[in-house]
Amino acid sequence: MKISEIRVYQHDLAVSDGLYRMSISQVETLDTTVVEVVTDSGLSGFGETCPLGSAYQPQFAAGARAAIAEVAPSLIGMDPRLVGLINERMDVTLNGHNYAKAAIDVACWDLMGKATGARVCDLLGGAHSTEVHGESVRSYWGIMPATPESTAAKAVELQDNGYTRLQVKTGGRPLADDIACVRAVAEVLRPGVPLTADANRGWTARDAIEFSIACRDIPLALEQPCATLEEHRQLSGRISHPVFIDESAVDVATVITAITDGIAQGFGMKLSRVGGLTKLRAVRDICEAKGIPSTIDDTWGGDLTAAATIHMGSTVKPALYEGTWISEPYTDGGYATTTPKIAPVNGRIPLPTGPGLGVEPDLEVWGPPAAAFTD
């Protein structure tokens, strides 16, 4: 099987309530990029990359398409099933830009599944047995910054609807407001429901230390409180809560540093940030070897991104798996005809039945390719 063409589609995803807000960035529409890797066998594989606007991380949508244009021609004629070689070729052709390479890598995994009749989760080692819930993974919800009363009310509603993990967005306002909000949520939190306070880089190290002291009695994790890994390094020994690194976990090497230097006790892991399923598989295995928990998410994206993250999430050792956030509940419209729809049901997301990612995109929704690469 050889890659004969790579097509790139652009599609806008609208936020259902009009706005998704975090401490220092917000988005209304998400510009997503879908890659179709076409082969001489007649099979096509699909992958997607969708930055969370242009200010969440250094990644941005036009950058993804420019980087794909840089690497795509070098892959024509290669066997897409040999994902190690595909990743090596992308890395020697273009330094960095993991988020663009991720879409191509995921499309190759989709092809590997379609070519063998296997689901991506089976190719990744197999979905952990879920006797109680069937083949599904735990999802979680990020509650946007609001008043303590409405945040607590949302936390109750989500738990009533089956969610067993909650994230509260903090930062971008007085620290006292964040403390009041997290205290209000802690009051209504049911036993066994983990909580994270995600400042999305919005706190200084001093804020994080003050918050942790003020909330010392509340079991929770601080997710990406500060802007850089170096700022997080200062928190070691000065706070009473574990730190989950999200935006700063930029690649496999940084994940290793964050663990071995005692900076991260967990991760909010993003598929596109580390470069796709091949690199995320390495992160998963390193975290398992070191006993580090993580979520398996992506920044945003549609059905393809959601499928890739839940396939990987299902293969994480259950004791270390914190769940998978997908954008479906926050986004208007999808582009897949697959049934059942990839969406949380009672706080869990059923695994697609495959093969590959198990997503059948409706190509009409995207319109003609924005770019195509052949020999």
Which partner from the list ligand 0XW, Mg ion, none does 36 bind, CB cut-off 5 to 8 Å by kind?
Answer: none
**Total number of residues binding ligand 0XW (CB under 6 A)?**
11
Task: List the structure tokens of 287.
Answer: 């975290």
Smallest gap from Cβ 295 to Mg ion, in A, equals 8
Smallest gap from Cβ 213 to ligand 0XW, in A, equals 23
CA distance 54 to 67: 15
Rounded to 10°, the helix 175-188/148-160 angle is 30
Pick from 29, 17, 61, 27: which is nearest to 330 by CA?
17
DSSP E strand boundaries for 181-262: 195-198, 221-223, 243-245
Burial pattern 135-156, b for ≥16 Cβ within 10 A else e, equals bbbbbbbbbbbbebeebbbbbe
Site membership for Mg ion, residue 231 (CB under 5 A): no
Pick from 30, 97, 32: which is nearest to 59 by CA?
97
Q: Which member of 57, 151, 200, 314 binds ligand 0XW (CB under 6 A)? A: 200
- Active-site residue list: 169, 270
Nearer to ligand 0XW, 267 or 373 (CB): 267
Task: List the structure tokens of 337.
Answer: 């005809």
Smallest gap from Cβ 309 to Mg ion, in A, equals 14
In this structure, how many other beta carbons lie within 10 angstroms of the beta carbon of residue 3?
Answer: 24
Task: List the structure tokens of 47.
Answer: 């992958």
CA distance 303 to 338: 9
DSSP E strand boundaries for 16-125: 20-21, 26-27, 29-39, 44-49
Which partner from the list Mg ion, ligand 0XW, none does 328 bind, CB cut-off 5 to 8 Å by kind?
Answer: none
Smallest gap from Cβ 46 to ligand 0XW, in A, equals 20
Are the beta carbons of 67 and 276 closer than 8 angstroms? no
Smallest gap from Cβ 9 to ligand 0XW, in A, equals 21
Are the beta carbons of 323 and 313 closer than 8 angstroms? yes
Smallest gap from Cβ 239 to Mg ion, in A, equals 17
Pick from 92, 96, 99, 59: which is nearest to 74 by CA?
92
Site membership for Mg ion, residue 145 (CB under 5 A): no
Backbone angles phi, psi at 123, to 5 degrees: -65, -25
The footprint of Mg ion on residues 207-226 (CB under 5 A) is 223
In angstroms, the Cα distances linking 191 to 60, 165, 319 are 39, 11, 17
Site membership for ligand 0XW, residue 313 (CB under 6 A): no
Instruction: Build a one-symbol-per-residue string for 213-252: x at contacts with ligand 0XW by CB under 6 A, - elsewhere.
Output: ---------------------------------x------
The footprint of Mg ion on residues 267-286 (CB under 5 A) is 268
Q: Which member of 3, 37, 52, 72 binds ligand 0XW (CB under 6 A)? A: 52
Smallest gap from Cβ 113 to Mg ion, in A, equals 29
Nearer to ligand 0XW, 25 or 130 (CB): 25
Nearer to ligand 0XW, 7 or 270 (CB): 270
Site membership for Mg ion, residue 246 (CB under 5 A): yes
Site membership for ligand 0XW, residue 325 (CB under 6 A): yes
Q: Which member of 48, 110, 178, 198 binds Mg ion (CB under 5 A)? A: 198
Site membership for ligand 0XW, residue 155 (CB under 6 A): no
- In the bound complex, which residue of the shown chain has the CB atom lying closest to ligand 0XW? 142
CA distance 270 to 69: 22
Site membership for ligand 0XW, residue 268 (CB under 6 A): yes
Q: Which residues bind ligand 0XW (CB under 6 A)?
A: 52, 142, 167, 198, 200, 246, 268, 297, 299-300, 325
Q: Which residues bind Mg ion (CB under 5 A)?
A: 198, 223, 246, 268
